[in-house]
Amino acid sequence: MHSYSAALHRTIMAVDIAGYNNPSRTVAHLRVVHEGLWALLRTTFAETGIPWDVCFVENTGDGAMILLPPEIAKADLVAQLPERMLAELRRYNAVHAAGARIQLRLALNAGEVHEGSHGSISPAISFTFRLLDAPAAKSAQKLTGADLALITSETFFQDVVKHDPAADPGSYRPIAAEVKETSAQAWLRLLGAPIAEAFVPAPSSPAAVVLPVPFTALVEALLAVECVRSAESRRVLLRAFSRREIADAVPHQAEDRLHVIELARTCERYDGGLEELLAAVRMLDPGSPQVERLGSVIASRSALGVR
């Protein structure tokens, strides 16, 4: 007989707060975010019908690891939990400042887990955290502004997600999980993404055509930035342009949204115009999550030569 306990098959959930250590967050923000995460997880589990006290839960600082027992149906985790978690994220973010906003990445996998004297031991757990850190998932969430990025292992997708229409398998896209010594295919679903049309390319697919985010996404990303939203701050913004020919060419519109549309259209007509706009915005509002998201949208349209 072995001198250690036998492994148990567990569903493994890893959760991470995107941008938790962003320098723009104060300690007060971090405290609110930390408490908000745990309240959100407990509420989501309760609404999904998963007893919190039957799970092994470990605080990872900027997230959590949760081991679910075999009697919890894996299908519930992909058919019910994502939408309920998205609803809780929206409720939370609606009443908190930008610095305390929560975006989550959630990875799902399953495998054998040993219980050691100082915690869980399992290659499957390590692999789940590799999925959570996949650069492709991080960049897709940053580009789209999705509130929730759900990543599953290839096996979890093929065995669970693919066979349950309620899990919306068509909304997943294959991504490469290239992290440290790990190189694998995973599956990504983005929920609560303002830029819903963003394209997530499949791994090892050189023929894939990467589409830019749409013009409407650029407008929404601009309107999300405080110094762009109001007419008074836009006047200051236009004065901050180093290229006066761009700023002077923007047609005036009395209605804020229409003026922002004209601003975006004008900047796109000039080579480097969007980059000029972003530089001016960053001068007035450096480092906010909304400005970083705007940067990702501009990078997408500029890189593909949208005019």
pLDDT in tens, 122-180: 888 999 999 999 988 998 888 888 999 999 999 999 999 999 999 999 889 888 888 87
Which residues, 6 or more positions from 149, have their beta carbon under 8 angstroms from its beta carbon?
A: 18, 103, 104, 105, 106, 137, 138, 140, 141, 188, 189, 190, 191
Owner of token pair 């997708």 = 157
Owner of token pair 């998201």 = 293
Most confident of 121-135, 185-199, 287-301: 121-135
Give me the mean pLDDT over the 45-52 stretch. Answer: 94
CA neighbours closer than 13 Å in the CB half-sphere of residue 107: 28
**Helices 27-48 and 81-94: angle between axes, nearest 10 degrees:** 140
d(CA 149, CA 135): 12
* 8 Å CB contact between 109 and 127: yes
Least confident interval from 1-5, 57-61, 72-76, 262-266: 1-5
d(CA 185, CA 188): 10
Confidence of residue 102 (pLDDT cuts 50, 70, 90): very high
Owner of token pair 């407990």 = 42
pLDDT at 241: 95
C-alpha distances in Å from residue 50, one per residue of 45, 66, 165, 228:
5, 12, 20, 43
